[in-house]
Structure 1
Amino acid sequence: MKKGELVFIPFPDIGHIVPALEMAKNLVARDQRLSISILIMKFLGFQPTSQSYVQSLIASISVERIKVIKLSEAQNVELTSSDPIQFIASFFENIKPHVRNAVKIFTESFPSQPDSPTLASIVIDMFCPTFVDIVDEFGVPYYTVFTCGAGFLKLISHLGNLSTNQNKDIAEYSVRELESLAEVAEQSTIE
Protein backbone atom coordinates (compact mmCIF):
# COMPACT_ATOMS: atom_id res chain seq x y z
CA MET A 1 0.00 0.00 0.00
CA LYS A 2 2.82 2.38 -0.87
CA LYS A 3 1.95 5.94 -1.88
CA GLY A 4 2.87 7.04 -5.38
CA GLU A 5 3.37 10.43 -6.98
CA LEU A 6 2.77 11.22 -10.64
CA VAL A 7 4.16 14.27 -12.38
CA PHE A 8 2.16 15.61 -15.33
CA ILE A 9 3.87 17.73 -17.99
CA PRO A 10 1.16 19.14 -20.27
CA PHE A 11 1.83 21.23 -23.36
CA PRO A 12 1.42 24.89 -22.30
CA ASP A 13 -1.94 25.52 -23.93
CA ILE A 14 -5.45 25.49 -22.50
CA GLY A 15 -6.48 22.51 -24.65
CA HIS A 16 -3.78 20.45 -22.93
CA ILE A 17 -3.70 21.91 -19.41
CA VAL A 18 -7.44 21.52 -18.77
CA PRO A 19 -7.51 17.81 -19.72
CA ALA A 20 -4.42 17.24 -17.52
CA LEU A 21 -6.16 18.89 -14.56
CA GLU A 22 -9.35 16.90 -15.16
CA MET A 23 -7.44 13.62 -15.52
CA ALA A 24 -5.57 14.36 -12.29
CA LYS A 25 -8.85 14.94 -10.44
CA ASN A 26 -10.26 11.66 -11.75
CA LEU A 27 -7.15 9.65 -10.88
CA VAL A 28 -6.80 10.87 -7.30
CA ALA A 29 -10.52 10.27 -6.75
CA ARG A 30 -9.98 6.60 -7.65
CA ASP A 31 -6.98 5.86 -5.44
CA GLN A 32 -6.20 7.43 -2.06
CA ARG A 33 -2.53 6.41 -2.34
CA LEU A 34 -2.01 8.59 -5.39
CA SER A 35 -0.95 12.24 -5.53
CA ILE A 36 -0.19 14.30 -8.63
CA SER A 37 1.90 17.36 -9.39
CA ILE A 38 1.21 19.24 -12.61
CA LEU A 39 3.99 21.37 -14.07
CA ILE A 40 2.60 24.44 -15.83
CA MET A 41 5.00 26.08 -18.27
CA LYS A 42 4.48 29.74 -19.08
CA PHE A 43 4.32 29.84 -22.84
CA LEU A 44 5.10 33.03 -24.66
CA GLY A 45 1.87 34.26 -26.22
CA PHE A 46 -0.37 32.41 -23.75
CA GLN A 47 -3.59 34.40 -23.89
CA PRO A 48 -4.63 36.26 -20.71
CA THR A 49 -8.20 34.94 -21.02
CA SER A 50 -6.83 31.40 -21.13
CA GLN A 51 -4.65 32.14 -18.13
CA SER A 52 -7.60 33.39 -16.10
CA TYR A 53 -9.63 30.31 -17.04
CA VAL A 54 -6.78 28.00 -16.05
CA GLN A 55 -6.36 29.97 -12.79
CA SER A 56 -10.05 29.55 -11.96
CA LEU A 57 -9.86 25.84 -12.74
CA ILE A 58 -6.78 25.45 -10.53
CA ALA A 59 -8.53 27.35 -7.73
CA SER A 60 -11.51 24.99 -8.01
CA ILE A 61 -9.36 21.94 -7.23
CA SER A 62 -10.11 21.10 -3.63
CA VAL A 63 -8.06 17.93 -3.52
CA GLU A 64 -4.93 18.27 -1.39
CA ARG A 65 -3.19 15.53 -3.35
CA ILE A 66 -3.03 17.65 -6.51
CA LYS A 67 -0.35 20.32 -6.69
CA VAL A 68 0.11 22.78 -9.51
CA ILE A 69 3.67 24.00 -9.95
CA LYS A 70 4.17 27.04 -12.15
CA LEU A 71 7.58 27.02 -13.79
CA SER A 72 9.71 30.06 -14.48
CA GLU A 73 9.44 31.53 -17.93
CA ALA A 74 11.90 30.19 -20.49
CA GLN A 75 14.72 32.56 -21.31
CA ASN A 76 16.52 33.08 -24.61
CA VAL A 77 13.71 31.71 -26.76
CA GLU A 78 14.29 32.55 -30.41
CA LEU A 79 11.40 34.96 -30.96
CA THR A 80 12.58 36.07 -34.38
CA SER A 81 12.03 32.69 -35.98
CA SER A 82 9.10 32.64 -38.38
CA ASP A 83 9.09 28.83 -38.26
CA PRO A 84 6.64 27.74 -35.52
CA ILE A 85 8.37 24.36 -35.16
CA GLN A 86 11.70 26.10 -34.52
CA PHE A 87 10.06 28.47 -32.05
CA ILE A 88 8.50 25.61 -30.05
CA ALA A 89 11.73 23.58 -30.15
CA SER A 90 13.62 26.61 -28.82
CA PHE A 91 11.02 27.10 -26.09
CA PHE A 92 11.25 23.46 -24.96
CA GLU A 93 15.05 23.43 -24.94
CA ASN A 94 15.09 26.57 -22.81
CA ILE A 95 12.40 25.37 -20.38
CA LYS A 96 13.91 21.87 -20.01
CA PRO A 97 16.28 22.85 -17.14
CA HIS A 98 13.29 24.32 -15.24
CA VAL A 99 11.34 21.08 -15.70
CA ARG A 100 14.34 18.97 -14.62
CA ASN A 101 14.91 21.16 -11.57
CA ALA A 102 11.24 21.05 -10.55
CA VAL A 103 11.17 17.25 -10.70
CA LYS A 104 14.49 17.02 -8.83
CA ILE A 105 13.39 19.38 -6.05
CA PHE A 106 10.09 17.59 -5.92
CA THR A 107 11.63 14.11 -5.52
CA GLU A 108 14.20 15.33 -3.00
CA SER A 109 11.39 16.76 -0.88
CA PHE A 110 9.94 13.31 -0.22
CA PRO A 111 10.75 12.44 3.38
CA SER A 112 12.54 9.15 3.92
CA GLN A 113 9.67 7.81 6.02
CA PRO A 114 7.94 4.58 5.03
CA ASP A 115 4.55 6.21 4.33
CA SER A 116 5.91 9.02 2.13
CA PRO A 117 5.19 8.84 -1.61
CA THR A 118 7.75 7.91 -4.22
CA LEU A 119 7.90 9.12 -7.78
CA ALA A 120 5.94 6.45 -9.64
CA SER A 121 5.79 7.90 -13.14
CA ILE A 122 5.87 11.00 -15.29
CA VAL A 123 3.00 11.67 -17.69
CA ILE A 124 4.11 13.65 -20.75
CA ASP A 125 1.90 15.37 -23.27
CA MET A 126 2.32 13.97 -26.77
CA PHE A 127 3.58 17.35 -27.95
CA CYS A 128 6.37 17.40 -25.34
CA PRO A 129 8.58 14.43 -26.36
CA THR A 130 11.76 16.35 -25.55
CA PHE A 131 11.11 15.72 -21.84
CA VAL A 132 11.65 11.96 -22.20
CA ASP A 133 15.36 12.69 -21.54
CA ILE A 134 14.41 14.01 -18.11
CA VAL A 135 12.30 10.96 -17.32
CA ASP A 136 15.25 8.70 -18.14
CA GLU A 137 17.37 10.59 -15.59
CA PHE A 138 14.92 9.73 -12.82
CA GLY A 139 14.59 6.08 -13.79
CA VAL A 140 10.80 5.93 -13.74
CA PRO A 141 8.37 4.86 -16.44
CA TYR A 142 6.54 7.47 -18.44
CA TYR A 143 3.22 7.63 -20.20
CA THR A 144 2.30 9.77 -23.16
CA VAL A 145 -1.08 11.49 -23.18
CA PHE A 146 -2.87 12.59 -26.33
CA THR A 147 -5.36 15.28 -25.31
CA CYS A 148 -6.95 15.85 -28.71
CA GLY A 149 -10.21 14.37 -29.88
CA ALA A 150 -10.61 10.99 -31.52
CA GLY A 151 -11.22 12.55 -34.96
CA PHE A 152 -7.87 14.35 -34.88
CA LEU A 153 -6.11 11.20 -33.68
CA LYS A 154 -7.64 9.32 -36.60
CA LEU A 155 -6.47 12.06 -39.02
CA ILE A 156 -2.91 11.95 -37.65
CA SER A 157 -2.92 8.17 -37.89
CA HIS A 158 -4.23 8.33 -41.47
CA LEU A 159 -1.60 10.91 -42.49
CA GLY A 160 1.11 8.73 -40.94
CA ASN A 161 -0.21 5.77 -42.92
CA LEU A 162 -0.18 7.79 -46.15
CA SER A 163 3.40 8.84 -45.49
CA THR A 164 4.81 5.53 -44.25
CA ASN A 165 2.88 2.86 -46.12
CA GLN A 166 1.95 4.66 -49.32
CA ASN A 167 5.07 6.85 -49.66
CA LYS A 168 3.02 10.03 -50.07
CA ASP A 169 4.47 13.39 -49.11
CA ILE A 170 1.77 14.86 -46.90
CA ALA A 171 3.40 18.30 -47.16
CA GLU A 172 2.09 18.44 -50.74
CA TYR A 173 -1.54 18.32 -49.61
CA SER A 174 -3.44 21.59 -49.80
CA VAL A 175 -5.39 22.91 -46.84
CA ARG A 176 -8.63 21.97 -48.62
CA GLU A 177 -7.44 18.37 -49.10
CA LEU A 178 -6.42 18.14 -45.43
CA GLU A 179 -9.82 19.49 -44.37
CA SER A 180 -11.47 16.84 -46.53
CA LEU A 181 -9.32 14.12 -44.96
CA ALA A 182 -10.23 15.46 -41.50
CA GLU A 183 -13.95 15.25 -42.32
CA VAL A 184 -13.55 11.66 -43.50
CA ALA A 185 -11.58 10.78 -40.37
CA GLU A 186 -14.19 12.38 -38.13
CA GLN A 187 -17.05 10.52 -39.82
CA SER A 188 -15.26 7.18 -39.53
CA THR A 189 -14.61 7.89 -35.84
CA ILE A 190 -18.28 8.65 -35.19
CA GLU A 191 -19.39 5.44 -36.87
Structure 2
Amino acid sequence: MKMELIFIPSPATGHLMATVEMVERLLDEDNRLSITVIIISFNSKTASTIASLTAASNTSLRYEVISGEENPTELTATDSHVQILKPLVKDAVAKLLEWTRPDSPRLAGFVVDMYCTCMIDVADEFGVPSYLFYTSNAGFLVLLLHMQFMYDSAEENNKYDMY
Protein backbone atom coordinates (compact mmCIF):
# COMPACT_ATOMS: atom_id res chain seq x y z
CA MET A 1 0.00 0.00 0.00
CA LYS A 2 1.25 3.44 -0.89
CA MET A 3 1.70 6.10 1.76
CA GLU A 4 0.54 9.59 0.80
CA LEU A 5 2.28 12.78 1.87
CA ILE A 6 0.68 16.16 1.24
CA PHE A 7 3.10 19.04 0.65
CA ILE A 8 1.83 22.61 0.91
CA PRO A 9 4.43 25.17 -0.18
CA SER A 10 4.15 28.91 0.20
CA PRO A 11 2.72 30.71 -2.87
CA ALA A 12 6.12 32.29 -3.62
CA THR A 13 7.88 30.76 -6.65
CA GLY A 14 11.15 30.13 -4.80
CA HIS A 15 9.34 28.16 -2.12
CA LEU A 16 7.42 26.15 -4.70
CA MET A 17 10.51 25.13 -6.64
CA ALA A 18 12.46 24.20 -3.48
CA THR A 19 9.53 22.05 -2.38
CA VAL A 20 9.27 20.33 -5.76
CA GLU A 21 12.99 19.52 -5.67
CA MET A 22 12.63 18.03 -2.18
CA VAL A 23 9.60 15.99 -3.26
CA GLU A 24 11.44 14.57 -6.26
CA ARG A 25 14.35 13.51 -4.03
CA LEU A 26 12.00 11.79 -1.60
CA LEU A 27 10.31 9.90 -4.43
CA ASP A 28 13.69 8.78 -5.77
CA GLU A 29 14.47 7.25 -2.36
CA ASP A 30 11.27 5.32 -1.67
CA ASN A 31 8.87 3.87 -4.24
CA ARG A 32 6.21 3.26 -1.56
CA LEU A 33 5.60 7.00 -1.35
CA SER A 34 2.98 8.93 -3.21
CA ILE A 35 3.06 12.71 -2.91
CA THR A 36 0.57 15.44 -3.72
CA VAL A 37 1.79 19.02 -3.85
CA ILE A 38 -1.02 21.47 -3.24
CA ILE A 39 -0.10 24.64 -5.10
CA ILE A 40 -1.71 27.82 -3.87
CA SER A 41 -1.96 30.24 -6.77
CA PHE A 42 -2.77 33.90 -6.17
CA ASN A 43 -1.75 35.51 -9.43
CA SER A 44 -0.93 34.84 -13.05
CA LYS A 45 2.83 35.44 -12.59
CA THR A 46 3.32 31.81 -11.63
CA ALA A 47 0.92 30.38 -14.24
CA SER A 48 3.63 29.11 -16.60
CA THR A 49 5.54 27.45 -13.75
CA ILE A 50 2.36 25.80 -12.48
CA ALA A 51 1.41 24.64 -15.98
CA SER A 52 4.80 22.99 -16.51
CA LEU A 53 4.61 21.26 -13.12
CA THR A 54 1.07 19.95 -13.53
CA ALA A 55 1.98 18.58 -16.97
CA ALA A 56 4.63 16.45 -15.24
CA SER A 57 2.15 14.77 -12.86
CA ASN A 58 2.31 10.98 -12.67
CA THR A 59 1.06 8.24 -10.36
CA SER A 60 3.58 8.99 -7.61
CA LEU A 61 3.60 12.78 -7.88
CA ARG A 62 0.47 14.84 -8.34
CA TYR A 63 -0.18 18.54 -8.27
CA GLU A 64 -3.42 20.10 -7.08
CA VAL A 65 -3.85 23.79 -7.83
CA ILE A 66 -6.00 25.89 -5.54
CA SER A 67 -6.68 29.44 -6.60
CA GLY A 68 -6.98 32.22 -4.10
CA GLU A 69 -7.95 35.85 -4.31
CA GLU A 70 -6.31 37.67 -7.20
CA ASN A 71 -3.37 40.03 -6.70
CA PRO A 72 -2.54 40.02 -3.01
CA THR A 73 0.92 41.22 -2.18
CA GLU A 74 3.44 38.51 -1.42
CA LEU A 75 3.35 39.46 2.26
CA THR A 76 -0.40 39.12 2.63
CA ALA A 77 -0.39 35.96 0.53
CA THR A 78 1.44 34.25 3.35
CA ASP A 79 -0.96 34.90 6.20
CA SER A 80 -4.69 35.65 6.05
CA HIS A 81 -5.10 34.68 2.38
CA VAL A 82 -3.67 31.22 3.01
CA GLN A 83 -5.87 30.88 6.12
CA ILE A 84 -8.99 31.44 4.00
CA LEU A 85 -8.05 28.51 1.73
CA LYS A 86 -8.10 25.87 4.49
CA PRO A 87 -11.57 24.53 3.50
CA LEU A 88 -10.45 24.17 -0.14
CA VAL A 89 -7.32 22.29 0.92
CA LYS A 90 -9.40 20.02 3.14
CA ASP A 91 -11.78 19.25 0.27
CA ALA A 92 -8.89 18.53 -2.12
CA VAL A 93 -7.29 16.10 0.31
CA ALA A 94 -10.60 14.41 1.07
CA LYS A 95 -11.25 13.92 -2.64
CA LEU A 96 -7.76 12.46 -3.09
CA LEU A 97 -8.35 9.96 -0.29
CA GLU A 98 -11.77 8.68 -1.28
CA TRP A 99 -12.14 5.55 0.79
CA THR A 100 -14.30 3.87 -1.86
CA ARG A 101 -11.45 3.72 -4.36
CA PRO A 102 -9.45 0.47 -4.06
CA ASP A 103 -6.16 2.20 -4.95
CA SER A 104 -6.65 5.00 -2.41
CA PRO A 105 -3.35 5.67 -0.59
CA ARG A 106 -3.03 5.87 3.20
CA LEU A 107 -2.45 9.43 4.38
CA ALA A 108 0.85 9.60 6.27
CA GLY A 109 1.11 13.32 6.99
CA PHE A 110 1.32 16.93 5.85
CA VAL A 111 4.55 18.77 5.11
CA VAL A 112 3.85 22.49 5.27
CA ASP A 113 5.99 25.47 4.36
CA MET A 114 7.12 27.76 7.14
CA TYR A 115 4.66 30.38 5.87
CA CYS A 116 1.70 27.98 5.67
CA THR A 117 1.61 26.79 9.26
CA CYS A 118 -2.13 27.44 9.45
CA MET A 119 -2.52 24.27 7.35
CA ILE A 120 -1.43 22.25 10.39
CA ASP A 121 -5.08 22.59 11.47
CA VAL A 122 -6.12 20.68 8.34
CA ALA A 123 -3.65 17.89 9.16
CA ASP A 124 -5.09 17.74 12.66
CA GLU A 125 -8.59 17.33 11.22
CA PHE A 126 -7.37 14.28 9.27
CA GLY A 127 -5.63 12.95 12.38
CA VAL A 128 -2.17 12.85 10.82
CA PRO A 129 1.12 14.44 11.87
CA SER A 130 2.40 17.60 10.27
CA TYR A 131 5.99 18.54 9.53
CA LEU A 132 7.54 21.93 8.85
CA PHE A 133 9.65 22.44 5.73
CA TYR A 134 12.11 25.32 5.71
CA THR A 135 13.18 26.38 2.24
CA SER A 136 16.17 28.28 3.62
CA ASN A 137 19.62 26.96 2.91
CA ALA A 138 21.72 25.41 5.67
CA GLY A 139 23.99 28.46 5.93
CA PHE A 140 21.06 30.72 6.81
CA LEU A 141 19.75 28.29 9.42
CA VAL A 142 23.25 28.02 10.96
CA LEU A 143 23.42 31.82 11.08
CA LEU A 144 20.11 31.95 12.96
CA LEU A 145 21.31 29.30 15.39
CA HIS A 146 24.58 31.18 15.95
CA MET A 147 22.74 34.46 16.56
CA GLN A 148 20.53 32.75 19.14
CA PHE A 149 23.63 31.28 20.80
CA MET A 150 25.25 34.73 20.95
CA TYR A 151 22.07 36.24 22.42
CA ASP A 152 21.79 33.48 25.04
CA SER A 153 25.48 33.90 25.96
CA ALA A 154 25.07 37.66 26.40
CA GLU A 155 22.01 37.13 28.59
CA GLU A 156 23.91 34.60 30.71
CA ASN A 157 26.82 37.03 31.18
CA ASN A 158 24.53 39.96 32.01
CA LYS A 159 22.68 38.15 34.79
CA TYR A 160 25.84 38.21 36.93
CA ASP A 161 26.39 41.96 36.47
CA MET A 162 24.83 43.79 39.40
CA TYR A 163 25.16 47.31 38.00
Spell out the pairing of 1:108-123 with structure 2 (5 A cutoff). 109-111=98-100, 113=102, 116-123=104-111
The TM-score normalised by the length of structure 1 is 0.67
Q: Which residue of 2 aligns with 1:73?
A: 68
1:150-169 counterparts in 2 under 5 A?
150-161=138-149
Contact 1:24 1:36 in 2 (8 A): yes
Q: Which residue of 2 aligns with 1:176?
A: none
Q: Which has the higher strand share?
A: 2
SS of aligned partner of 1:12: coil
| 1:91-110 superposed matches below 5 A | 91-107=81-97, 109-110=98-99
Q: Structure 1: how far apart are the matches of 2:13 and 2:24? A: 16
Aligned to 2:119: 131
Q: 1:74·1:95 contact (CA, 8 Å) conserved in 2?
A: no
Quote the Cα distance in structure 2 between the aligned partners of 1:100 and 1:162: 42
Identity across aligned pairs (percent)? 36
Q: Cα distance, 1:63 vs. partner?
A: 3.9
- Counterpart-to-counterpart distance in 1, 2:149 and 2:78: 25
**Cα offset for 1:47?**
6.4
Distance 2:27 2:7 in 1: 13
Report the TM-score when normalising by structure 2.
0.77
Name stretches of at least 5 consecutive residues in structure 1 with no aligned partner: 168-191
Say which structure, 1 or 2, has more relative contact order (CA 8 Å, 6+ apart).
2
Q: Is the 8 Å Cα contact of residues 74 and 94 (structure 1) preserved in structure 2?
A: no
Question: Aligned to 1:38, what secondary structure does the other structure show?
Answer: strand
1:10/1:128 contact within 8 Å kept: yes
Secondary structure, counterpart of 2:41 in structure 1:
coil
Q: Show the counterpart of 1:52.
A: 48
1:67 positional shift: 0.6
RMSD over aligned CA atoms reads 2.8
Distance verdict in 2 for CA 1:54–1:62, change over 3 Å: closer
Superposed displacement of residue 152, structure 1? 2.0
What corresponds to 2:135 in structure 1? 147
Q: How far apart are the structure 2 equivalents of 1:126 and 1:58?
A: 23
- Matched residue count: 154
- 8 Å contact kept, 1:11–1:128: yes
Task: Assess if the C-alpha contact under 8 Å between 2:96 and 2:104 holds in 1.
Answer: no
Equivalent position of 2:40 in the other structure:
41
What's the counterpart of residue 28 of structure 2? 29
